[in-house]
C-alpha cells in the first residue's frame, strides 16, 4: 500500500519566492500520476518535497495516512530517479545497483538475488560488468531505474527521466517504464513537460501552472476537449 496525500502544500524559497501554492493531490495506491506544466511551474519542487529533499513550508504530506513532513528521505520508503542518471562512474553496473543495499548491510546472497531480478526486468543481465561510460543513454537510464528497484520502494518519483534521450529511445523507455509500473505494483509520481508522455503514461494527470494545480484528470478527459 502506498497512498500519497498532499494537503495544502506550499513552498516558499529562502528568497521569498512562492514556488508551490496550496497544492492538494490525493494519489491512490499503485496509481501512475504525472505532473505536467511549463518549466518553472513548480513540478520539481513538488516532487522534491515528496522525496524529502526540500523542506515543506506549510501543509501536510502523508504516506499511507502517516504525516511525513519531518521524516528523513531514507525513511520514507521512496525512490527518486533523476534526469541526469547520477550513476557512479568508477563502479560497474552491478556495483551501482547494489551500492545502496551494501550500505544497509544486507547479506551478499540477498543482494545478488535482488540485483539479478532487477537486471532481468530491465534487460541489463549482459551489461552488469560494464562501467557507465561504456553504456548508451537508454542503458544508463535503465541502470538508474535498477538502482531504485532493488530497494523495493512503495513509491517511485521520476523527474523528467527521459529528457536526455533521443526520440526513439524515449518511446521505448516510455513503454518500459509503464511496464515497470505494472510489474512492480508501486505508486509512480512522474514529472514531465512533455504532453505525449503525460498522455500515454498517466492514469491521471496533474496540470500545474505558476505553482498552482489547475486541474487533475484522466488523460482522455484532459485531451479530448
Ligand atoms: P519545474 O520543475 O516545474 O520546472 P521548479 O519546481 O524547478 O519548476 O521551480 C519552480 C520555481 O521555483 C521556478 O521559478 C524556480 O526558478 C524557482 N526555484 C527553484 N528552486 C529555487 C530555489 N532554490 N530558490 C529560489 N527559487 C527556486
Ligand atoms: P529543472 O529545470 O530540472 O527543474 P532547474 O534548472 O530549475 O532544474 O534547477 C536546478 C537547480 O537550481 C535546482 O536545485 C533548483 O532548486 C535550483 N534553482 C532553480 N531556480 C533557482 C533560483 N531562482 N534560485 C536559486 N536556485 C534555483
User: Over the stretch 113-160, which tens digit does the pLDDT of each residue have?
Assistant: 999 999 988 889 999 999 999 998 889 988 998 998 898 899 999 999
Ligand positioned closest to the Cα atom of 83: 2
Ligand positioned closest to the Cα atom of 37: 1
Strand order in the sheet with 58-63: 18-27, 4-12, 58-63, 66-67
Ligand positioned closest to the Cα atom of 35: 1
Instruction: Identify any residues that bridge with 60 across adjacent strands, giving them in sequence order.
Output: 7
Residue 173 has pLDDT above 90, yes or no: no
- The secondary structure of residue 42, as a DSSP letter, is S
Exposed (0-12), middle (13-18) or buried (19+): which is 23, by Cβ within 10 Å? buried
Residues 96 and 89: their CA atoms lie apart, in Å, by 9
For ligand 2, the distance from its centroid to the CA atom of residue 45, given in whole angstroms, is 9
44 ligand 2 Cβ < 6 A: yes
Nearest CA to ligand 1 atom 18: 19
- Contact of 180 with 120, CB cutoff 8 Å: no
Task: Provide the mean pLDDT of the chain.
Answer: 92
Grid cell, residue 29, equals 495506491
Tell me what pLDDT residue 49 has: 97
Ligand 1: list residues with CB < 6 Å: 13, 15, 17, 19, 37, 39-45
Ligand positioned closest to the Cα atom of 13: 1
**What is the number of the ligand 2 atom nearest to the C-alpha of 40?**
7
User: Of the residues 41, 44, 53, which should be mutated to test ligand 2's pocket, given the most ligand atoms within 8 Å of the CB?
Assistant: 44
Alpha helix (H) residue ranges in the chain:
43-51, 93-103, 108-121, 137-149, 167-184, 195-201, 219-224
pTM beyond 0.90: the answer is no
ipTM, interface predicted TM-score of the complex? 0.73
Lowest mean pLDDT among 45-59, 109-123, 163-177: 163-177
Grid cell, residue 200, equals 500515454
- Contact of 118 with 146, CB cutoff 8 Å: yes
Would you put residue 7 in left (φ > 0), alpha (ψ -120 to 50) or beta? Answer: beta
For ligand 2, the distance from its centroid to the CA atom of residue 56, given in whole angstroms, is 16
Residues 222 and 1: their CA atoms lie apart, in Å, by 27
pLDDT tens digits, 74-126: 889 899 887 767 899 999 999 999 998 998 889 999 999 999 999 988 889 99
Residue 220 has pLDDT above 70, yes or no: yes
- The secondary structure of residue 39, as a DSSP letter, is T
Residue 27 has pLDDT above 90, yes or no: yes
Tell me what pLDDT residue 95 has: 97
**What is the number of the ligand 2 atom nearest to the C-alpha of 45?**
16
For ligand 1, the distance from its centroid to the CA atom of residue 40, given in whole angstroms, is 5
Count CB neighbours of 162 within 10 A.
25
Amino acid at each position: 500500500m502506498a497512498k500519497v496525500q498532499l494537503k495544502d502544500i506550499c513552498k516558499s524559497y529562502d528568497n521569498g519566492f512562492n514556488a508551490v501554492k496550496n497544492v492538494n493531490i490525493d494519489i491512490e495506491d499503485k496509481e501512475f500520476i504525472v505532473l505536467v506544466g511549463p518549466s518553472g511551474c513548480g513540478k520539481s519542487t513538488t516532487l522534491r518535497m515528496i522525496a524529502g529533499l526540500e523542506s515543506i513550508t506549510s501543509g501536510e504530506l502523508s504516506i499511507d495516512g502517516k504525516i511525513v513532513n519531518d521524516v528523513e528521505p531514507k525513511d520514507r520508503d521512496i525512490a527518486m530517479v533523476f534526469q541526469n542518471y547520477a550513476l557512479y562512474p568508477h563502479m560497474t553496473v552491478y556495483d551501482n545497483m547494489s551500492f545502496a543495499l551494501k550500505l544497509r548491510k544486507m547479506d551478499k546472497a540477498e543482494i545478488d538475488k535482488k540485483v539479478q531480478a532487477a537486471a532481468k526486468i530491465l534487460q541489463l543481465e549482459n551489461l552488469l560488468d560494464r562501467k557507465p561510460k561504456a553504456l548508451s543513454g537508454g542503458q544508463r537510464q535503465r541502470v538508474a531505474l535498477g538502482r531504485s528497484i532493488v530497494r523495493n520502494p512503495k513509491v517511485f518519483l521520476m523527474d523528467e527521466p527521459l529528457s536526455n534521450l533521443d526520440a526513439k529511445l524515449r518511446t521505448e523507455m516510455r513503454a518500459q517504464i509503464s511496464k515497470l509500473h505494472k510489474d512492480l505494483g508501486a505508486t509512480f509520481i512522474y514529472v514531465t513537460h512533455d504532453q505525449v508522455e503525460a498522455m500515454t503514461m498517466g492514469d491521471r494527470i496533474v496540470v500545474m501552472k505558476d505553482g498552482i494545480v489547475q486541474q487533475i484528470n484522466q488523460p482522455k478527459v484532459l485531451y479530448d476537449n
